[in-house]
């Protein structure tokens, strides 16, 4: 594989600001918003108003005020507009629009989750009807086992408390990490399940739902954190829990029956505890939408493999994440969002639209992204002209599942749901052996015509760290420029945002011997920022 | 008719002022500055004071 | 107490991975199947002409090469095993069979394989990776049966012509049980007020049963049991009786360190220990032996990866019951540094054993080789023993520690 990449210069001058450093101050938020030229600034302004309308609508929900004062994680939601600014740094035209379409829907989805959480929470809204319709689901799990329960609502309590919170506010997790460590958790475990454990210990998760289904998701820490959370759910709040298994070596044929049988058991558990009946019609309708998601995502990847990638960056990953895991084909709105994005992607591709003044390197982003520096991928593009073509979390479901309601497909459906669950975002690469973690990276590089890999080295991710030497040696053998960027997922005290960017800066200067496209953002004073 | 134009004019002026105000808030990031320097510290004090039920 | 006749011999055996008994058995033309986790059904490695050895890296010093491959955030057991494999210390093995018990041990064996660190010049050498159950239920039993067939029995039979029939499995289980009964019988002396075997001695004997060919140990163990039966115990009470709970613990120096501080290690619930690792497997005639062996491991396992809540609660109850049975004054929950499953298990176990069962608990993480931080550990154990003594004094007597 070659390690050279043709430089591609954007012939169209970017409207509005040419450099972005002026936006940042040493304070907690940016000095001001970006001037993107009149048209795009007005568009961004309209989206800002839309985000505020979502936030105001959420704040009108039952139990919101109580929740705002009860739950520490609620403070993060003040910063949602700030998060949107992080996702749109330097973007114009189609790229700006598709980011807003996708992220506005993600924000809406999270807002709905917050609304439901506070409405149904025994301590806040105490809406028992909503609570009785709710099945608590792991944050990192594929809610495939809910595809045939249209009358029930899966609720990922950890999304607003941990996952999304850390995208919005880099310091959102540290209080809970400290609580977990105060109770004896060592500081070297993955801070994501550690934070969730801390939230549970602090009793800061909403209490609602008829039952809960937990899955061994991304790592041993995540598997183990479930027990701690389930204990409190069962013993203190009387909410029964089910532990659904997703095999570790999920590519092996001889584990699929095991997974499918447990899927049946999970569905039976939900039926038994909620009284709801599995609806095959709803399942196969949802299956069609899952397949549509897969087809669309693969098409976006095909376009990203060309010299003019369109739907890239953290938004690509988060949109896929929400679409597959939170949604799993249940929502009828996602296909509409997909269609809007697809239209913009095609339009941008036909126009040969570029997102930065130059594309110098085509990069595959691998490993586990740090939540608190989610804007890094846009920064790489604007600062160094390195285009993030795709990332590990977006290289997810590859095959389509059975979508016609036939007797054979009803049996196949359990295997398909197991397949979706085994291939949940992140876990499909962290588990399954070296082939899913290392070999598939090189396949992705081939597929995307990449000359560079940015490897997020989440220092507490044992599945990733365990292959450190292999990545290093195999990249060298293949002539791939491999940039290690270490971090601690959601604890900025371990590696600050600038410390993370500096690793990339150093590589670009010392190994690639290049100068930045926009030197004003090589160092950004955002260590105190949300 | 004149009254209708007058009302329309007032509405347009109000909308224009509102637009300008909102745009100033948007562009100079005043919404986030207010949240981060006023609302968040107030809420954080409340969270710190709250009795906790910490338990494994 | 008088020294045990074979103690030094056993101590020497566990000082090297490729010990004298392995060399002897290999010289007889036997096949050595190496494995790496307590969740793999042990008797299946002892079929016919084959014997199983649990990999261990005694006297580990530097782990620099393994640290390059897996970074310094990986569990030291995983790194120590990889380092030893790269050094050529496991070249006696004819295959390695690894369950995906935890991420780190899985990565360790994958690296061994990718680096071609073992099997040089052995035409039939193979690595196998297998799935093991995540819950204790019949679905898990079915999985384990299939996995054992595909990843243990089939390759052993195809590559080395090992007899994997039901009769062969029953023979292996009978031998396994004979050894387990010996170990458990010796271990039962730890319940005595004045025990006739020290925790350290027992740890040496038990560890040897994992690291050496079992059949070669039987006579010496039998003789040791007889010796202990007639041994005169010291009439001095330990300062505290401790139950040690944890994961991969193949370093007997750790137990020695505790006993040097005046404690007595009365029970061993860890992965190289006797509880539950040396529980006999009861077989009946009305079902395949393989299924029964797999059921024993699925339901009897105390590994934190078993995630159904019956097991999550059950593991703590199991420890509490052991503490009661072995009259422990306190419990030491330990975790190998950087081990994720035991990080959580230790936290939860510590909290539950203290809050729900009322035992004093010391919660520690430790290096693979205790010699690298002996002083710190000694201080912590001493402080724990003192706190138990103070509690006893405050209660005005020597209760059961509660």
B6-37 per-position pLDDT tens digit: 999 999 999 999 999 999 999 999 999 999 99
How far is Cα A288 from Cα A332, in angstroms, rounded to an integer?
A: 11
Distances (CA, A) of C32 to A301, C29, C48, C168: 48, 9, 11, 17
Which of A243, A247, A431 comes nearest C307 by C-beta? A243
Which of A27, A48, A530 comes nearest B26 by C-beta? A48
**Cβ–Cβ contact C70 with A under 8 A:** yes
For residue B21, is it within any domain? Answer: yes
For residue B55, is it within any domain? Answer: no
- Can you tell me which residue has the tokens 């050496």? C212
**Cβ–Cβ contact A340 with B under 8 A:** no
**Cβ–Cβ contact A203 with B under 8 A:** yes
Mean pLDDT, residues C19-28: 97
Say if strands C240-245 and C263-269 run parallel, antiparallel, or are unpaired: parallel
**Cβ–Cβ contact C294 with A under 8 A:** no
C156-184 per-position pLDDT tens digit: 999 999 999 999 999 999 999 999 999 99
What pLDDT score does A407 carry? Answer: 97
The minimum CA-CA distance between B53 and chain C, rounded to whole Å, is: 15
- Across chain C, what does the average pLDDT equal? 96
**Cβ–Cβ contact C67 with A under 8 A:** no
Measured CA angle at A190 (ends A185, A196), to 5 deg: 70
Q: Specify whether the CB–CB gap between A90 and A20 falls below 8 A.
A: yes
**A chain contacts of residue C350, beta-carbon cutoff 8 Å:** 184
What pLDDT score does C283 carry? Answer: 97
Nearest CA to A214 out of A247, A244, A246 is that of A244
Which of B44, B52, B56 comes nearest A228 by C-beta? B56
What contacts C234, CB < 8 A, 6 or more positions away?
A: C1, C194
Residue C397 has pLDDT above 90, yes or no: no
For residue B32, is it within any domain? Answer: yes
Residue C398 has pLDDT above 60, yes or no: no
Please indicate whether, in this complex, the C-beta atoms of A248 and C312 are within 8 angstroms of each other.
Answer: no
How far is Cα A225 from Cα A140, in angstroms, rounded to an integer?
A: 12
Residue C399 has pLDDT above 90, yes or no: no
* Residue A209, both tokens: 């739902």
What pLDDT score does A2 carry? Answer: 46
For chain B, list residues whose CB is within 8 angstroms of any CB belonging to chain C. Answer: 56
**C chain contacts of residue B56, beta-carbon cutoff 8 Å:** 347-348, 351-352, 355
The minimum CA-CA distance between A45 and chain B, rounded to whole Å, is: 7
Measured CA angle at C242 (ends C240, C248), to 5 deg: 155
* Residue A362, both tokens: 């085509």
How far is Cα C210 from Cα C221, in angstroms, rounded to an integer?
A: 13
What contacts C14, CB < 8 A, 6 or more positions away?
A: C56, C58, C204, C207, C208, C211, C250, C252
- Can you tell me which residue has the tokens 């604007």? A382
Helix A280-304, helix A334-350: angle, nearest 10 = 20
The minimum CA-CA distance between C128 and chain A, rounded to whole Å, is: 12
Please indicate whether, in this complex, the C-beta atoms of B37 and A183 are within 8 angstroms of each other.
Answer: no
Say if strands A134-137 and A153-155 run parallel, antiparallel, or are unpaired: parallel
Q: Model confidence at C373, in pLDDT bands (50, 70, 90)?
A: confident
For residue B10, is it within any domain? Answer: yes
Per-residue pLDDT of chain A (530 residues; tens, 9 = 90+): 445 678 899 999 999 999 999 999 888 899 999 999 999 999 999 999 999 999 999 999 999 999 999 999 999 999 999 999 999 999 999 999 999 999 999 899 999 999 999 999 999 999 999 999 999 998 878 889 999 999 999 999 999 999 999 999 999 999 999 999 999 999 999 999 999 999 999 999 999 999 999 999 889 999 999 999 999 999 999 999 999 999 999 999 999 999 999 999 999 999 999 999 999 999 999 999 999 999 999 999 999 999 999 999 999 999 988 888 888 999 999 999 999 999 999 999 999 999 999 999 999 999 999 989 989 999 999 999 999 999 999 999 989 999 999 999 999 999 999 999 999 989 999 999 999 999 999 999 999 999 999 999 999 999 999 999 999 999 999 999 999 999 999 999 999 999 999 999 999 999 999 999 999 999 999 988 99
The minimum CA-CA distance between A408 and chain C, rounded to whole Å, is: 22
Mean pLDDT, residues C324-334: 97
How far is Cα A243 from Cα A233, in angstroms, rounded to an integer?
A: 13
How far is Cα A207 from Cα A372, in angstroms, rounded to an integer?
A: 27
Say if strands A361-367 and A358-359 run parallel, antiparallel, or are unpaired: unpaired
Give me the domain span that covers residue B34.
2-49
What pLDDT score does A17 carry? Answer: 94
Please indicate whether, in this complex, the C-beta atoms of B36 and A30 are within 8 angstroms of each other.
Answer: no
What pLDDT score does A322 carry? Answer: 86
What pLDDT score does A3 carry? Answer: 52
For chain C, give the percent of residues with pLDDT over 70.
99
How far is Cα A311 from Cα A296, in angstroms, rounded to an integer?
A: 11
Chains that touch C (3 or more CB pairs under 8 A): A, B
What ipTM did this prediction achieve?
0.95
Residue C276 has pLDDT above 90, yes or no: yes
The minimum CA-CA distance between B21 and chain C, rounded to whole Å, is: 52
Please indicate whether, in this complex, the C-beta atoms of C111 and A197 are within 8 angstroms of each other.
Answer: no
What contacts C154, CB < 8 A, 6 or more positions away?
A: C164
Please indicate whether, in this complex, the C-beta atoms of A470 and C100 are within 8 angstroms of each other.
Answer: no
The minimum CA-CA distance between C1 and chain A, rounded to whole Å, is: 38
What pLDDT score does A326 carry? Answer: 80
* Residue C108, both tokens: 């360790």
Domain count, chain B: 1
Distances (CA, A) of A390 to A290, A317, A360, C43, C348: 20, 8, 16, 47, 39
């Amino acid at each position: 594989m070659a390690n050279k990449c043709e430089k591609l210069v954007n012939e169209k001058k970017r409207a509005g600001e040419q450099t972005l450093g002026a936006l940042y101050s040493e304070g907690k938020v940016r000095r001001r918003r970006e001037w993107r030229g009149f048209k795009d600034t007005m568009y961004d302004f309209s989206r800002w108003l839309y985000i505020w309308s979502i936030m105001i609508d959420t704040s009108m929900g039952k139990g919101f005020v109580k929740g705002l004062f009860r739950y520490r994680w609620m403070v993060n939601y003040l910063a949602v507009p700030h998060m949107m600014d992080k996702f749109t740094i330097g973007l114009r035209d189609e790229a700006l629009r598709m980011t807003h379409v996708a992220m506005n829907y993600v924000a809406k989805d999270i807002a709905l989750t917050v609304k439901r959480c506070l409405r149904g929470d025994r301590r806040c809204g105490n809406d028992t009807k909503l609570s009785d319709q709710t099945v608590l689901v792991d944050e990192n799990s594929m809610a495939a086992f809910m595809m045939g329960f249209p009358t029930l609502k899966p609720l990922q309590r950890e999304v607003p408390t941990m996952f999304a919170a850390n995208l919005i506010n880099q310091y959102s997790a540290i209080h809970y990490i400290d609580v977990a460590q105060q109770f004896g958790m060592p500081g070297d475990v993955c801070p994501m399940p550690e934070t969730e454990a801390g939230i549970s210990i602090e009793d800061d998760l909403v209490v609602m739902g008829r039952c809960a289904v937990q899955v061994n998701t991304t790592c041993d820490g995540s598997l183990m954190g479930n027990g701690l959370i389930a204990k409190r759910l069962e013993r203190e709040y009387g909410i029964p829990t089910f532990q659904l298994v997703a095999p570790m070596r999920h590519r092996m044929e001889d584990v699929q029956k095991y997974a499918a049988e447990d899927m049946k058991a999970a569905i039976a558990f939900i039926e038994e505890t909620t009284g709801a009946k599995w609806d095959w019609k709803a399942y196969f309708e949802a299956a069609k939408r899952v397949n549509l998601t897969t087809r669309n995502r693969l098409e976006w990847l095909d376009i990203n493999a060309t010299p003019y990638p369109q739907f890239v960056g953290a938004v690509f990953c988060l949109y896929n994440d929400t679409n597959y895991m939170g949604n799993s084909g249940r929502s009828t709105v996602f296909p509409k969002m997909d269609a809007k994005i697809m239209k913009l992607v095609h339009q941008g591709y036909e126009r040969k639209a570029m997102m930065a003044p130059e594309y110098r390197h085509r990069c595959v982003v691998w490993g586990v992204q740090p939540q608190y520096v989610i804007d890094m991928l846009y920064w790489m593009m604007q600062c160094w002209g390195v285009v993030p073509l795709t990332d590990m979390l977006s290289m997810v479901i590859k095959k389509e599942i059975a979508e016609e309601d036939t007797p054979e497909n009803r049996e196949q459906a359990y295997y398909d749901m197991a397949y979706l669950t085994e291939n949940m975002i992140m876990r499909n690469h962290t588990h399954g052996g070296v082939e899913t973690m290392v070999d598939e990276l090189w396949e992705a590089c081939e597929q995307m015509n990449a000359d560079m890999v940015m490897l997020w080295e989440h220092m507490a991710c044992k599945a990733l760290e365990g292959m450190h030497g292999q990545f290093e040696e195999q990249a060298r053998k293949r002539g791939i420029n491999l940039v290690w960027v270490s971090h601690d997922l959601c604890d900025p005290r371990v590696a600050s945002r600038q410390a993370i960017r500096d690793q990339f800066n150093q590589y670009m200067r010392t190994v690639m011997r290049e100068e930045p496209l926009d030197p004003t953002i090589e160092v950004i004073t955002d260590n105190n920022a949300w | 008719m004149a009254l209708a134009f007058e009302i329309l004019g007032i509405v347009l002026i109000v909308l224009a002022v509102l637009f300008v105000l909102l745009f100033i808030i948007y562009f100079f990031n005043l919404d986030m500055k207010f949240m981060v320097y006023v609302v968040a510290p107030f809420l954080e004090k409340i969270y710190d004071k709250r009795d906790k039920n910490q338990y494994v | 107490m008088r020294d045990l006749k074979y103690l030094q011999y056993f101590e020497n055996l566990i000082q090297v991975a490729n010990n004298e008994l392995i060399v002897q058995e290999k010289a007889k033309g036997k096949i050595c199947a190496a494995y790496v986790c307590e969740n793999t059904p042990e008797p299946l490695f002892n079929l016919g002409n084959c014997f199983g050895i649990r990999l261990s890296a005694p006297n580990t010093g530097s782990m620099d090469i393994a640290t390059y491959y897996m970074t310094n955030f990986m569990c030291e057991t995983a790194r120590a095993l990889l380092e030893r494999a790269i050094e050529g210390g496991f070249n006696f093995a004819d295959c390695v069979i690894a369950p995906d018990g935890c991420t780190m041990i899985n990565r360790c064996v994958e690296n061994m394989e990718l680096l071609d660190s073992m099997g040089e010049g052995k035409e039939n050498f193979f690595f196998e990776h297998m799935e093991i159950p995540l819950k204790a239920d019949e679905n898990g039993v079915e999985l384990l049966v299939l996995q054992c067939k595909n990843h243990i029995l089939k390759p052993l039979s195809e590559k080395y012509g090992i007899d994997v029939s039901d009769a062969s499995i029953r023979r292996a289980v009978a031998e396994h049980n004979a050894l387990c009964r010996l170990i458990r019988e010796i271990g039962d002396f730890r319940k005595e007020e004045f025990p006739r075997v020290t925790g350290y001695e027992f740890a040496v004997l038990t560890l040897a049963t994992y690291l050496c060919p079992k059949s070669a140990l039987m006579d010496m163990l039998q003789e040791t049991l007889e010796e202990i039966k007639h041994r005169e115990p010291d009439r001095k009470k330990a300062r505290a009786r401790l139950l040690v709970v944890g994961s991969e613990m193949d370093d007997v120096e750790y137990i020695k360190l505790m006993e040097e501080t005046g404690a007595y290690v009365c029970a061993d619930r860890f992965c190289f220990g006797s509880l539950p690792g040396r529980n006999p497997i009861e077989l009946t005639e009305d079902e395949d032996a393989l299924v029964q062996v797999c059921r024993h491991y699925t339901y009897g396992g105390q590994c934190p990866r078993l995630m159904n809540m019956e097991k999550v609660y059950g593991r703590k109850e199991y420890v509490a019951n052991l503490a009661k049975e072995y009259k422990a004054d306190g419990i030491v929950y330990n975790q190998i540094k950087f081990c994720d499953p035991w990080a959580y298990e230790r936290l939860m176990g510590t909290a539950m054993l203290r809050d729900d069962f009322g035992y004093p608990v010391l919660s520690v993480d430790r290096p693979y080789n205790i010699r690298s931080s002996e002083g710190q550990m000694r201080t912590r154990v001493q402080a724990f023993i003192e706190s138990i003594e103070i509690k006893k004094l405050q209660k005005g007597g020597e209760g059961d520690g509660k």
